[in-house]
Structure 1
Amino acid sequence: MIQASSPRRFLRLATALCGAVFLAACLQDQTVSEGGVIQGNGLAPAGAPPGTCWGKIPTPAVIETVTEQILVTPAKVNADGSIASLPIYREESRQQIVTPRTDRWFEIPCPPAFTVEFVSTLQRALQVRGLYSGEINGNMDATTRRAVLSVQTAAGLPSDVLSIETARELGIVAVPRTP
């Protein structure tokens, strides 16, 4: 059993444990979920080529509340056409899905390619474009993720997980040739 003498020590131990689990899962080619993006060969969209890695952005369903008037007692009408009593209604509210939940898949570099050199190259490519002002250190840190998020959001992909398409556009991943 791990005992932590302080909340900070516990947080460091938990972070280290999560990192070890992530690394072990990557090495075993298993699915890993981090920050809402699911990675790994174990989970991919239908028809994905084997040996590729994918990110997924779940889009929540859009739900609205619909309120309807339900007739409880109809109006009573006299023989001469005048209204003897008004109709009685009750309100009924229910939830209705306007847009169903969807998953948006995008291909990502697989963990073996995500080396310190690869991330350093990514940081330099972002720096040249004026999107990254941090240190070139090869760490996929918060500053690097913000820069990736900025590039990808502008292209319509709101994720800080680097996509293959963005890596190709930045010139850090080879573009396959068309026959």
Structure 2
Amino acid sequence: MASGSKVYVKNWPKNIKYLTRPTLSKKLDHAVLGPLGFDQKPGPRFAGTPSENVSIKQIIDQTHPAAGEYGLFATKTLPPGSHILDYLGHYHETTPEDTDEASNYDLVLTRDVGGTGRGVAIDARFSGNEARMINDYRGIAAKPNAEFKERETGIMGVYVVVNNGSKGFKGVRKGEEILVSYGRSFWSERREAMA
């Protein structure tokens, strides 16, 4: 299935392009793409189809920080440490010239590709997959139940945390919202922008 192929995903926003493979910035050259595996055949292995582990649902609970927006929910019980799905979007350098400063969907993949000193991030603001719908746990749960982790070189995965510190944590239950920590830097940048 090619990137951008017409794929039906329930509750997918019409103004966002659904991806089955990432798109690449023109600023990314062989020095960066090579160590990430994009210059090799077959290259990084992305799922290529919508994830069977998740569904996108509109948040109707008015006390939820993302009320009226969307969230990502488990369609089956996902045990601790299991891979949920990959985070897809537009791969770009972390330089100001190649970064959309207004994006809330930009995730750093690596700060130094193969010793080049060049960082790469994945931005799902205008194109991505279901992973762009993951909300931060703050105001929803005591701890995140999922985390971003590099699955293999060049691919950022979303995984169920092994232990979130909660007594008796058994993973993400069917129907439960998948929640990560966006990190302190995400929230401090947003506070600065609002000041």
TM-score relative to the length of structure 1: 0.31
Larger of the two Rg values belongs to structure: 1
Q: Which has the higher contact order (CA 8 A, sep 6+)?
A: 2
Q: Which has the higher helix share?
A: 1
